[in-house]
Structure 1
Amino acid sequence: MIEINKNILRFILVLSYIIITAFLIFGISNLYSYLNTGADRSTMLHTEIKKIDQYLPKIEWETLNNEGRFMDAQTLNSIENDYLDAWYVKQIAYKTNTTIGIEDYYTKSAKKNIYSTIDLNTTEKISIESTTLQHHPTLEFFSEDGQLAVITDKDVIEYKRVFQNRTCVLETTEKATYKLTLLLEDGFWRIRHITKIQVEDYKTKFVPATGLSTQINGINYYPQNTPWDMFGDAFDPKIISKDFKIIKDAGLNSVRIFVQYDDFGKANVNTEKLKKLKDVLDLAEENNLKVMVTLFDFYGDYSVLDWSLNQRHAETIVSELKDHPALFAWDIKNEPNLDFDNRGESLVKAWLDKMIDLVKSIDTNHPVTIGWSNVESATILKDKLDIITFHYYKDLDDLDDVYKNLKLEIPNRQIAITEFGISSYKGLWNPFGNSEKDQTEYHQQAQTIFFKNNIQFMSWTLYDFIEIPKEVVGRLPWRKNTQKYFGFINTNGNKKAAFKHLIKP
């Protein structure tokens, strides 16, 4: 028995030795591999920068004609990436008054100034939200040893909001020129010195769209079986073409459709979704309909650091569609004034202002509008828009005066009501709702007012829907059921009585 126990003990000791040796060899081999391959930079940074997802201002380099060494494309791309990341970490630092990530993108002399600013802002309880939207750098000098680059970055468009004690005390957009020197250290380009050598307030001048305006007599459109998911897996061109024929045969000339920011891939627009969007415009062209494309549906963040991502999203879509013959207008955002309370009116307006500038800089031909949720907001940014559009779900008895007053206030712009309608739901969740007869009388009255005042319009919407996503009106059944029955065609595919008043009294 004693001999057996000794053998067991020997076995345990040998096994333990083998296991410990294996762990040591594994650890040493991993350390050796790490030292030979180099650490992944994203794991070195506390901020874990992923520029493609977090910061994409538009950058346009001047043609290379620098002194010193020839600059190859790979090195220029490396400089660009590190330079923009340096901007990004500095903006985070000034927003949070922390120094995380600064040492990865700035040399000792450069980060000293940033740290001093952070200390001062912390003492004064100041924080700064900022972003850059455009950069136009010129490479002035690249050293023969490839370790130093001198750059002049002209016409940098920078938006800032300065807060003190959590209250916004300054909001400004600047156009500035920066002179900077970058050093290559540890394989990465760090800013050694940066100086703002010129700055001025930045304001754009309204330039009206050059294309002919369309007399808007239209309707908001979703396929009946895929509302708010028009470009999803169930996308069916045959159904959309059939619906467009119904719309055209009814006497209408246009449709308003919606592009969801998240659904289309945010900054990196999904090419498959974009193709489907182009297919919809092709189908509209085949049916002799014009299309108003509404951007940023279901977007409601407006965070300043996301603006460059938002702009790359819009830039891709606008650039792709701007020459399409079916396109007649861009709606920057649906009902953004509903976000004023949660996100702040000044922030939302600033976001809209910059997005208008971007869209008009890419497409000078097609009109730009904003689909305000009510007439009270319709005068906001009126001097930057080609068409003034608002939604009207109030008492029709007041519409005549509402429209005339707005026309007096904005006499030099095309005006259209791009959403109006009434639900025909009257049931368990709303026993005092409106019937189909009430809906018919409503649209007859609306079209009478439109005809009398030559009001342009787009009604809500072609179909009654079987299901409404909770993201649209929430989960409450009385809200969801009401939203289902705004259409002119019911869920069985039959035209409701209101259909005959789609365009005439």
Structure 2
Amino acid sequence: MKTNRTLYRTLLILSFLVINAAIIAGVSSVLSYMNTGADRSAILHLPEAQIPNYAPQVVWTPLTNEGRPISSQTLSELERDYLKAWYVRNIALETNDRYGTADYYTDSAQVQLYDILDLNLKNNVYFKSSTLKHHPTLEFYSADGKIAVLTDTNVERYEEAYMDQKRIAQHTEIASYQVMLLLEDGFWRIRHLIKLPSQEVEKTKVSRPDLSAVTKSKGVNYYPQKHPWNMFGATFSDSSITADFAKIKHMDLNTVRIFVPYKTFGKAQIEIEKMKQLQHTLDMAEKNDLKVVLTLFDFYGDYSLRDWTLTHRHAEQIVTALKDHPALLAWDIKNEPDLDFETRGKTQVTAWLGRMISEVKSWDNQHPVTIGWSSPEAATNLAKEVDFVSFHYYREPDQFMVAFQELKTNVPDKPLVLQEYGYSSYDGIWNAYLGSEENQAEYVIQMQKLLDSESIPFMIWTLYDFESVPNSVVGRLPWRKARQRHFGVLAGDGQPKKAYYSLIEKK
């Protein structure tokens, strides 16, 4: 009986504790809900913080508008909602779905947009589009702060048309718009969006960058030995980098190629500290009398139109910050983009590349632009758009001249640069015990003879052997990772390998 009573009391206490725990958890959930910024914004229908998912270039004309003066904060909010309206419109035209349009268009403006969506849906048509540049002028801001009228000139807009899931056309349009926006429950909504008659846009003069230094380049693709593919951030070491640059100069080389990882560098919102580290890297190159080929996009593989403006802002920040640096030799848009043709589609990849070339040239017309293609065969892509053609080669030396001469025939009017070449000295089981320092050294000797015979600029892969290689570089397969660790002309401890002496003797 006493045992049953004790058990009863225990169950009663446990039940009490469980009920109280449930009540506390419920109250905590409510408090968490009420203290979450996004949720509160949704409840009160307040404008949420700017999400970096759409970032076209916006250049405002100096304010001389009629009506009341507008504060910088209000102008920023107006710009934010105006761009979001374009973004929502782009999504609607791609999905033929009305979702989200009510937040950025008034009722009458929604009707016009819905008519377009209904027609597209009926004909099984949709459009992928993005505005890339805006040049707004505020014409009027009402005394009550509820109405704004602006003219947006030379809006650059890229669009792709699809029918039955197949792309049927793509084009770039430059147009101007008259826009009226109304402030309603915290949002600036478009009331009228009227396309103005087209006006001829003055074409920017295209300068021809000096390529003499490019044609004389002989160098190395560079990552620090201890932190390959992770050069910037907490692992950044200026002492090891400057020591490595001194070694490269001692080898009588004059160029280094370095890489900016798109995602970890901050994407459209570049991390300030990493930008300072990149600047310092160029400073160290200058002190060692080395020129830098800077690859703007490493570990990037989206290319979708929704992503274009974000990648533009990434490149713009780097290019505008470094374009006057004396160590800068050239901009390399992307490392081996042809490897993404199969998964992303050749048309999509080359469209992104072509536009990025144009953008970089608009920010810096003094330095040449190239693309690091994975093979001589792929390097014919966009050859007319780049200033010099870069290609990679890891095949046998006796096949090199045939591939090179074919590329030279197809691209007779541009300098050709062997941007990567090399041989792994890995001699373990995952390479059937076929690699060796001797084979690597002989490969370098043969390749350098061929390069000398045609005066081909080159950059060898790479300075060091590495202790480890991330899966994101070559995948998880052990035979690929093992080989990739042993391409250096210096061993992991910094000691020269036989290929080092082959390079400095035969280059």
TM over 0.5: yes
Deviation at 1:476, TM superposition (A): 0.9
For 1:141, the equivalent position in structure 2 comes to 140
SS at match of 1:222: coil
Aligned 1:20-419 pairs, distance under 5 A: 40-41=40-41, 51-199=50-198, 207-209=207-209, 213-214=213-214, 215-419=216-420
AA aligned to 2:115 is: S
| 1:106–1:295 CA distance, 2 compared to 1 (3 A) | same
SS at match of 1:172: strand
Deviation at 1:52, TM superposition (A): 3.6
For 1:464, the equivalent position in structure 2 comes to 465
SS at match of 1:489: coil
CA–CA distance in structure 1, aligned partners of residues 467 and 74 of structure 2: 56
Q: Unaligned stretches of 5+ in structure 2?
A: 1-15
| 1:235–1:38 CA distance, 2 compared to 1 (3 A) | closer
Instruction: State whether residues 38 and 48 of structure 2, in contact with CA within 8 Å, keep that contact through their aligned partners in structure 1.
Output: no
CA–CA distance in structure 2, aligned partners of residues 303 and 49 of structure 1: 25
Deviation at 1:305, TM superposition (A): 1.0
AA aligned to 2:292 is: V
CA–CA distance in structure 1, aligned partners of residues 44 and 374 of structure 2: 47
User: What per-residue deviation string (whole Å, max 9, x for no partner) do you get for residues 234-268 of structure 1?
Assistant: 22111111111111111100000000001101111
Matched, 1:449 2:435: no
Instruction: State whether residues 57 and 133 of structure 1, in contact with CA within 8 Å, keep that contact through their aligned partners in structure 2.
Output: yes
AA aligned to 2:148 is: A
For 1:5, the equivalent position in structure 2 comes to none
AA aligned to 1:370 is: I
SS at match of 1:384: coil
Deviation at 1:42, TM superposition (A): 5.2
AA aligned to 1:363 is: D
CA–CA distance in structure 1, aligned partners of residues 455 and 475 of structure 2: 36
CA RMSD, 1 decimal: 2.7
For 1:420, the equivalent position in structure 2 comes to 421
Deviation at 1:171, TM superposition (A): 1.0
Instruction: State whether residues 377 and 403 of structure 2, in contact with CA within 8 Å, keep that contact through their aligned partners in structure 1.
Output: no
CA–CA distance in structure 2, aligned partners of residues 436 and 211 of structure 1: 35
SS at match of 1:85: helix
CA–CA distance in structure 1, aligned partners of residues 155 and 272 of structure 2: 30
AA aligned to 1:123 is: K
Instruction: State whether residues 174 and 201 of structure 1, in contact with CA within 8 Å, keep that contact through their aligned partners in structure 2.
Output: no
User: What per-residue deviation string (whole Å, max 9, x for no partner) do you get for residues 183-224 of structure 1?
Assistant: 111232110010122358999875422575332100101111
AA aligned to 1:213 is: A
The size of the alignment, in residue pairs, is 478
SS at match of 1:182: strand
Instruction: State whether residues 290 and 327 of structure 1, in contact with CA within 8 Å, keep that contact through their aligned partners in structure 2.
Output: yes
| 1:80–1:191 CA distance, 2 compared to 1 (3 A) | same
CA–CA distance in structure 1, aligned partners of residues 394 and 400 of structure 2: 10
CA–CA distance in structure 1, aligned partners of residues 282 and 260 of structure 2: 13
TM-score (norm 1): 0.89
CA–CA distance in structure 2, aligned partners of residues 264 and 198 of structure 1: 41
Instruction: State whether residues 45 and 104 of structure 1, in contact with CA within 8 Å, keep that contact through their aligned partners in structure 2.
Output: no
User: What per-residue deviation string (whole Å, max 9, x for no partner) do you get for residues 428-447 of structure 1?
Assistant: 11215322111111110100
| 1:90–1:354 CA distance, 2 compared to 1 (3 A) | same
CA–CA distance in structure 2, aligned partners of residues 173 and 115 of structure 1: 24
Instruction: State whether residues 451 and 504 of structure 1, in contact with CA within 8 Å, keep that contact through their aligned partners in structure 2.
Output: no
User: What per-residue deviation string (whole Å, max 9, x for no partner) do you get for residues 393-412 of structure 1?
Assistant: 12221222322332233232
User: What per-residue deviation string (whole Å, max 9, x for no partner) do you get for residues 301-333 of structure 1?
Assistant: 112111111111111111111111111111000
TM-score (norm 2): 0.89
CA–CA distance in structure 2, aligned partners of residues 278 and 39 of structure 1: 40
Instruction: State whether residues 151 and 181 of structure 1, in contact with CA within 8 Å, keep that contact through their aligned partners in structure 2.
Output: yes
User: What per-residue deviation string (whole Å, max 9, x for no partner) do you get for residues 8-59 of structure 1?
Assistant: xxxxxxx9xxx9xx99xx99x99xx99xx9985456779x976442111110
CA–CA distance in structure 2, aligned partners of residues 50 and 298 of structure 1: 28
CA–CA distance in structure 2, aligned partners of residues 156 and 213 of structure 1: 37
Q: Unaligned stretches of 5+ in structure 1?
A: 1-14
Deviation at 1:466, TM superposition (A): 0.9
| 1:211–1:68 CA distance, 2 compared to 1 (3 A) | farther
Deviation at 1:369, TM superposition (A): 0.5
